Amino acid sequence: MLKDCQRLFMRVSPLTSGIVLLLLVTACSTKHEQQNLDVYFENSLSRFNRALTNVIVSDIFTPPVASRIYAYPNIAAYEGIRFMDSTKISLAGQLNGLKVLPLPDENKKYYYPLVSMVAFTNVGEALVFDLEKVAAIEEKVLQEVQDIGIDEEIYANSVAFGEDIARAVLSWASKDGYLRRTALPRYSVSDDPGRWRPTPPDYMEAIEPHWNTLRPFTLSSAGQYDPGLPTAFDENENSQFYAEALEVYETVKQLDSSQVEIAKFWDCNPNISTTKGHVMYFQQQISPGGHWIHIAAQVLEQENAGVVKAAETLALTSIALADGFISCWDQKYKSTLTRPETYINTYIDPEWMPILQTPAFPEHTSGHSVASNAAATVLTHFFGDDYHFIDATEVPYGLPERSFSSFIQASEEAAISRLYGGIHYRPAIELGVVQGKQVGQHVLDKIRLHNTTVAYKE
């Protein structure tokens, strides 16, 4: 690049060489800075999502809440980056309740990857407990951007525009019912043997019994893709329900090592409690939604996808996950079905324990089945039916990588892992798979990212 500038300078007459030299040096320097910034922001949204995951894990957010935390920042990130591609259109007018978002000033220049980062971190910071950690991420990036070199006016414009997008997204988020749900009644435990009740070891109260009151992102209602009620509860040994419980019991007793590995790989329980004597301690893990956000991030890096492709992929994946949890939780607290652990301990074997710790919410349907298949449907849309990938999401939590030949294969393994883990009956798994695929396809059908009638694929 410097040699190009020198060659240009040699063609200039001595009379104007001073002025032209200044212009050339400035132009070449600006171009060099731009290239360095572009390199810096390669795979940046994957990095930002991983950093957000670290905060979500340490803050111990429940799976439904974690899905909400991923969705809003990734929507903001897409809205900040989409102006790099003139064919991209806004999610405003397509997502429930999101009517309008800020537009760039035509008289100003912006660096849109920076706009996107500021929008992402500002929204993320407002949704977590440890907001200082997210603020520190933004401060570090802003400092590194300035160290690389960026025009001061473009820098200021970009930061301001990112903050404008974030404020608009947060204003929209504030009306989704998240805060209102805390004033609603708690789940009431009854003597009905078919209804869910707290499970060992810590007997936590029901998590998010009113999650279905939140405004969905694309669904017309929380019950739009209701999978139907579970098998009717029955204590009789000749009943269908008893047979379903017995399958869980016998499956866990006969697991081979590969099935145990599958169960543990997809555990994704954000807060496992362990009691030793009179001491209880907790182990934090990634959530189911977080696992699929990380799968998306890994694939985007494997593909060396551009910043726009990354933003649209993560936005739609996170929306599908969020709507998947709203859909799933709607049925959970309609049926309020007892978990296998409770039934088996009462009617089959009082000493039996599942491989995984039973989560603190009702049985039907399986959250993993719904969320995984919703996300897998979206990722299949972007990368194809037979996309091979290696999932290293659980490596930081002490588990090995797993290899998959498609996203659907991974999502169906995540679903059946709940039977291996001893925490779901088969109908919750199978109906959850269908429910998740319906939600994921609905997101793809409802949202257009490209200004044609066909959804855009790179």
pLDDT tens-place string over residues 112-158:
999 999 999 999 999 999 989 999 999 999 999 999 999 999 999 99
Per-residue pLDDT, 30: 63
Q: What pLDDT score was predicted for residue 33?
A: 73
Query: Nearest 10 degrees: CA dihedral of 305, 306, 309, 313?
Result: 50
How far apart CA 340 and CA 191 sit, in angstroms, is: 17
Mean pLDDT is lowest, of 192-196, 360-364, 396-400, 431-435, for: 396-400
Given a cut of 50, whether residue 9 has pLDDT beyond it is no
Q: Which residues pair with 219 in a beta bridge?
A: none
Question: What average pLDDT score do residues 257-267 get?
Answer: 97
pLDDT band per the 50, 70, 90 thresholds, residue 3:
very low
* Whether 283 contacts 59, CB under 8 Å: no
Band (pLDDT 50/70/90 cuts) for residue 254 is very high
pTM of the model: 0.91
CA distance 225 to 387: 27
- Residue 451 pLDDT: 84
Instruction: Give the residue carrying structure tokens 């980056």.
Output: 81
Q: Are 239 and 343 in contact (CB under 8 A)?
A: no
377-425 pLDDT per residue, tens: 999 999 999 999 999 999 998 899 999 999 999 999 999 999 999 999 9
* Whole-number Cα distances in Å, 23 to 17, 43, 133: 10, 32, 41
Residue 280 has pLDDT above 50, yes or no: no
Q: Could you tell me the two tokens for 301?
A: 């890096």
Question: How many Å apart are CA 345 and CA 197, to the nearest integer?
Answer: 13
Q: Give the pLDDT of residue 270.
A: 67
Residue with tokens 């739609």: 316
Going by C-beta distance under 8 Å and a sequence separation of 6 or more, which residues neighbour residue 357?
A: 201, 269, 272, 273
Q: pLDDT tens digit string along 360-374?
A: 999 999 999 999 999
Give, in order, the Cα–Cα distances in Å from 154 to each of 109, 162, 306.
6, 12, 21
> How confident is the model over 75-101, as a mean pLDDT?
97
Per the model's pLDDT, the better-predicted residue between 10 and 291 turns out to be 291
Provide, rounded to the nearest whole percent, the portion of the chain with pLDDT above 70: 88
The answer, yes or no, to whether residue 204 has pLDDT greater than 80, is yes
In angstroms, the CA 453 to CA 203 distance is 51
More confident residue, 25 or 60: 60
Contact 420, 369 (CB under 8 A): no
Query: How is residue 16 written in tokens?
Result: 């104007």
With H, G, I as helix, E, B as strand and everything else as coil, classify residue 304: coil
In CATH, the number for domain 34-173 is 1.20.144
Region 349-366 average pLDDT: 97
Selection from 203, 354, 218, 365 nearest residue 288 by Cα: 365
- Residue 195: exposure state from Cβ atoms within 10 A (0-12, 13-18, ≥19): middle
Within 10 Å of residue 46's Cβ, how many Cβ atoms?
21
User: What is the C-alpha R_g of the chain?
Assistant: 25
Domain boundaries, the chain: 34-173, 190-446
456 pLDDT exceeds 50?
no
Q: Is the pLDDT of residue 23 over 90?
A: no
Predicted confidence (pLDDT) at residue 6 exceeds the cutoff of 50: no
Among 275, 246, 273, smallest CA distance to 359 is for 273
Q: CA–CA separation, 216 vs 439, rounded Å?
A: 11
Summary mean pLDDT of the chain:
91
Residue with the bigger pLDDT between 29 and 50: it is: 50
Fold observed for domain 190-446: Vanadium-containing Chloroperoxidase; domain 2 (1.10.606)
Beta strands in 264-416 (DSSP E): 271-276, 279-284, 389-391, 402-404
How far apart CA 324 and CA 332 sit, in angstroms, is 12
Q: Distances in Å between the alpha carbon of 200 and those of 63, 136, 309, 353, 359?
A: 19, 38, 44, 9, 9
